[in-house]
Amino acid sequence: MMNWRKSIITFLSVWMLLAVALPIQSTNAESIVQTTEAELTTSISTVSMTEKRQMEVQFDFGERVPLEKIDWTFGNKPLEEWKTYRSQDNGYTGDPFITFAESPTYIGDSTTVTAVLEFGLLFGTDNLAPRSIRVLYPSFIGTYDLSVTNSETAETLSKEITYNVYDEYLTYEQLKPELDKITESAQSENDRFIEYKSLGQSYEGRDIHFITLAKNQEAVDKYLNDTLPTALENPAELLQKIEAGTIGDYQVPIWFNNIHPDEVEGIDAQVEIFRKLAQDDEITFKTANAEGEEEEITINVEEALEHVIFLFNFTHNPDGRVHNTRANINGFDLNRDNAFQTQQESVYVTEEIAKWSPLSFLDMHGYVSDFLIEPCTPPHNPNFEYDLLLENMLQQAHAMGQAGVANSDYDSYAIPYEDYENGWDDMTPAYTAIYSMLHGSLGHTIEVPGLNQQSLYAMVHTGLGATNFVLENKNELFSQQLKLFKRGVDGEDNRSVDELLVNQNGDIIGRDRGENENFFPEYYVLPMNELQKNKWEAAEMVDYLIRNGVKVEKTTASVEVDGVVYPEGTFIVPMKQAKRGFANAVLYQGDDISDWNAMYDAIVVNFPDLRGFTMTEIRSEDAFGGVTSVMEAAEYPSTSIDKNKGHYVLKNVNNETVKAVNELLHSGSKVSIATADGNGYSKGDYVVHRNDLHKIKDNYYLEVVPIDNMSNVEKLAGAPKVAVVGSGASRFVLQQLGFEITSVDEADVIVDDTGRVNKEAIAAGTSYIGIGGRALQAVKQSEILDGFDFKRTNFSHEGLLKTNVANDSFITSGYETEEVLYGTTGSWITAVPKGAETLIEVATSDDYFVAGWWPGKEQVMGQTWAITTKVKSGSNVTLFANDLVFRAHTEHSYRLLANAILLDDVQEKKKGKKP
């Protein structure tokens, strides 16, 4: 770009010599078209939305056409009609941004016209990051004809010009062809080992492109089949070899990642890093040393491949790249799903991360005002071996920042751990980089400040800076990862971690061990007999843990531990293993961090309580020694029918039952409800005919008992139609459960977790289920319930609370009188309308608050959390202050929602028919 004018002068000189040398065939325009190769030439062929550029243009009609008779267009639109976007007008009403830096003129006495066009900034800024712009710019990406037309003859000369965000931007459709092109060149010219695979497909069927770049296949096989298994099972052996200098040649992985595809540099920077590593022999870039002085670093790629395996996950969310959205097609932010793994894209990617356990992990994001590179502020997740991670992460962050600044227009970078007080924490493993830290990685989220060319340069060089840091410190970094794994294998709870775990005041609080010596238990036990309240979810947990690299075992004989007999086949998670930090992060109850002034996002993970299965913590050392075998895959329970009866009860104890009931209702089968407790079943359980049960019993895990007395059974009206006016999570969950989603006009029930109360629909007889504080607020403002009121601290507050549940309501059927439930909007009900049923109340015991971040939480103790009532129109209105569908993770609460929907007709009959 800097020498374009010099190149143009040289080009013009040659052109003029040729123009003098070549005879002019004719002055007739039509003849010129037939006998000359008239063309329009330009000094550049790509223009940018984020960088002003000048373009030398030259053309020859074969005659000296009056300049005012030459029309200029770009994409068939006159240049003066290409107007700058004005946010205050919400339209393209500003000055033209394609103008003449040098007006058209003839070169000497020739018929050749030259001009310099200036392409300014379509949006009046070089930063397209604001969401108001981010939704607009994709429609302008493409190729356009730059054309000049002789208005007297209509003769037109054109050249195709690419209009892009910046030069390196690729659409999803362009991504795989570009990767193939780079790979083909690298393999033919550089003999590089490059392996492509799709990690899986998005919900819309697009591949998640993944590339491994390594020295050779043997290097990959050695790492996956030798180095890493030894690191996980016997890290002391490798540590000893490193210390003795006998470890020999080995490679460690660096993983480059993008999860928010509308933060576009995260994809394109990876392509550029891959291009350099695949095609270049040497990569030279600038950096700044500790004194701020500029230096050059050269990476010899062949030498680098002796030490590093490069992994590229170009985007976790391909549908988002196509639709230019942060979320996937279901409306989920996948950077909040790495722990929960409810979305299939997350399942594919996290399984691969667990498989590789990369030494260094870079998740590429935008946009914050600072050029930001983690590590994070406190509070820190206590399941990290943070003392082993922090110092190396800080040094690597500085190496990345120094390279990013030296190779872009940015003059500074920020590291939250050093530069922020709070609000950018790593408490939750929901984020990809934080998830990787629980697998022993130096995990960094990187945020560039703007969507533009300079951010692309900065992001590319953070990757190169991180790579160079690993190359310079490989043995030390791998030793630290091995020490992390060794603590897990040895069951060591090292007190050095405590020094880094502080409260809002900066006081050291350490890991919360309670009365235990060790923060980590010896085992977690998932019983699969009558002690287990949800066998299906317990099996799902086993599948999850194995998929995420956690060792799970089952007992091969009956074992008594702490007075409890665990039969053969009990699932066991031994905590003396390398990945114990990850296992504990998803299985322990969590922490109360309500003293913090600010948190970035929700922090409760706690699978047992949120997904509703029984798990026991065992502290006795070697309690299951010698009586377990390693599980290679989860073992799921199946439906068992003992007797041949006419009708059976499907116990309302898991989400599989809801799915089965919905399938039967949609097929036209009769489904009834038990209206009173019976022999082996409870009020609110479902009743079906034997023939219908046999149709679906193999599709779901159902707990079944025969029923003889049908006097306390009432038929359901049929498959309900549900309108979702809330989040993508609500829609996703209801579709998972098998409900028919329809419009408000056709719905029997409206489900709302965002506060969009439809008074007209409710007045017309449609029932309403409101979830969370925003729905409570909207109900209060709508005045549809006389005497209703609520309070909140802040809609961003969350808590996992002990509650008391009414046991005489259809809506709470299948639940125990004491349950641990979850809320994410810091709200509770303060006034219950006359005649309404209270369904859930927060406990009043001192230990009512289990985990979460809820400043002011003491106000919710003993308060109402859910009610149901009937309004004048006959509609049922059911309100939950707790969250039933949060990020599709609170599966234990799904049946509260399903009961309120499926039993809506029964509730009406109980209270009186709709008018």
Are the C-beta atoms of residues 604 and 610 closer than 8 Å to each other? yes
Q: Calculate what percentage of the chain has a pLDDT beyond 90.
A: 92
Residue with tokens 């659409």: 171
Which residues lie closer than 8 Å to 330 by C-beta, 6 or more apart? 203, 343, 728, 731, 732
4 pLDDT more than 50 = no
Strand partners, 176: none
Say which range, 24-33, 684-693, 893-902, has the weakest mean pLDDT: 24-33
- C-alpha span between 734 and 757 (Å, rounded): 19
Return the HEC string of 223-245: HHHHHHHHHHHCHHHHHHHHHHC
Which pLDDT belongs to residue 830? 98
Assign 463 to helix, strand or coil.
Answer: helix
24 pLDDT more than 80 = no
- C-alpha span between 557 and 618 (Å, rounded): 17
- Kindly state the average pLDDT of the residues 725-742: 97
Identify the active-site residue in 263, 447, 837, 841. Answer: 447
5 pLDDT more than 60 = no
Distances from the Cα of 456 to the Cα of 238, 401, 409, 452, angstroms: 38, 13, 11, 7
- DSSP letter at 225 equals I
14 pLDDT more than 60 = no
pLDDT digits (tens, 9 = 90+) for 36-79: 357 999 999 999 999 999 999 999 999 999 999 999 999 999 99
Q: Which two tokens stand for residue 871?
A: 């309004």
Which stretch of DSSP H or E encloses residue 399?
helix 386-406
- C-alpha span between 618 and 307 (Å, rounded): 41
pLDDT digits (tens, 9 = 90+) for 313-364: 999 999 999 999 999 999 999 999 999 999 999 999 999 999 999 999 999 9
pLDDT-based confidence at 904, cuts 50/70/90?
confident
- C-alpha span between 747 and 719 (Å, rounded): 11
CATH of domain 172-495: 3.40.630.10
pLDDT-based confidence at 7, cuts 50/70/90?
very low
12 pLDDT more than 60 = no
Same fold yes or no, 4-164 and 172-495 = no
193 pLDDT more than 70 = yes
- DSSP letter at 224 equals I
Query: Domain-by-domain residue ranges, the chain?
Result: 4-164, 172-495, 523-630, 647-715, 721-911
Give me the architecture of the 4-164 domain, per CATH. Answer: Sandwich (2.60)
DSSP line for 140-205: G-EEEEEEEEETTT--EEEEEEEEESSTT---HHHHHHHHHHHHHHHHHHT--EEEEEEEEE-TTS
Are the C-beta atoms of residues 416 and 374 closer than 8 Å to each other? yes
Give 190 or 335, the one with higher predicted confidence: 335
Assign 366 to helix, strand or coil.
Answer: strand
- Kindly state the average pLDDT of the residues 669-675: 96
Which pLDDT belongs to residue 25? 31
In this structure, the strands spanning 46-48 and 308-313 are unpaired
Which pLDDT belongs to residue 907? 60
- C-alpha span between 539 and 554 (Å, rounded): 12
- C-alpha span between 100 and 216 (Å, rounded): 53
Tell me the helix, strand and coil percentages in the chain, rounded to 5.
35, 25, 40
Distances from the Cα of 142 to the Cα of 164, 165, 274, angstroms: 7, 10, 24
Q: Is there a catalytic annotation at residue 173? A: no
Q: Is the backbone peptide bond immediately before 367 cis, with ω within 30 degrees of 0?
A: yes
* Angle between helix 453-490 and 265-279 (nearest 10): 80
- Kindly state the average pLDDT of the residues 235-253: 97
Which stretch of DSSP H or E encloses residue 780?
helix 773-782
- C-alpha span between 816 and 684 (Å, rounded): 13
**Count helices and strands in the chain by DSSP H and E runs:** 25, 44
Which stretch of DSSP H or E encloses residue 14?
helix 4-21
Assign 855 to helix, strand or coil.
Answer: coil
Scanning 245-317, the segments in alpha helix (DSSP H) are 265-279, 301-304
DSSP line for 708-757: ---TTEEE---PPEEEE-S-HHHHHHHHHTTPEE--GGG-SEEEESS---
- C-alpha span between 312 and 274 (Å, rounded): 8
Which pLDDT belongs to residue 500? 98
Q: What is the length of the chain?
A: 915
- DSSP letter at 91 equals B
What are residue 838's phi and psi, to 5 degrees?
Answer: -85, 125
- C-alpha span between 79 and 146 (Å, rounded): 10
- C-alpha span between 612 and 200 (Å, rounded): 29
- Kindly state the average pLDDT of the residues 676-693: 96
- Kindly state the average pLDDT of the residues 114-141: 97
pLDDT digits (tens, 9 = 90+) for 476-514: 999 999 999 999 999 999 999 999 999 999 999 999 999
223 pLDDT more than 80 = yes
pTM of the model: 0.93
- C-alpha span between 757 and 782 (Å, rounded): 7
- Kindly state the average pLDDT of the residues 364-390: 97
Are the C-beta atoms of residues 861 and 848 closer than 8 Å to each other? yes
The domain made up of 721-911 has a fold known as Rossmann fold (3.40.50)
pLDDT digits (tens, 9 = 90+) for 71-111: 999 999 999 999 999 999 999 999 999 999 999 999 999 99
Q: Is the backbone peptide bond immediately before 379 cis, with ω within 30 degrees of 0?
A: yes
Distances from the Cα of 472 to the Cα of 299, 304, 308, 585, angstroms: 11, 10, 11, 32
pLDDT-based confidence at 903, cuts 50/70/90?
confident
- Kindly state the average pLDDT of the residues 771-800: 97
Amino acid letter at 761?
A
Which pLDDT belongs to residue 911? 47
Q: What is the mean pLDDT of the chain?
A: 94
- C-alpha span between 626 and 883 (Å, rounded): 43
- C-alpha span between 767 and 884 (Å, rounded): 17
- C-alpha span between 166 and 122 (Å, rounded): 13
704 pLDDT more than 90 = yes
- Kindly state the average pLDDT of the residues 574-586: 98
Which pLDDT belongs to residue 908? 53
Which pLDDT belongs to residue 32? 28
- C-alpha span between 668 and 662 (Å, rounded): 10
CB atoms closer than 10 angstroms to residue 298:
9
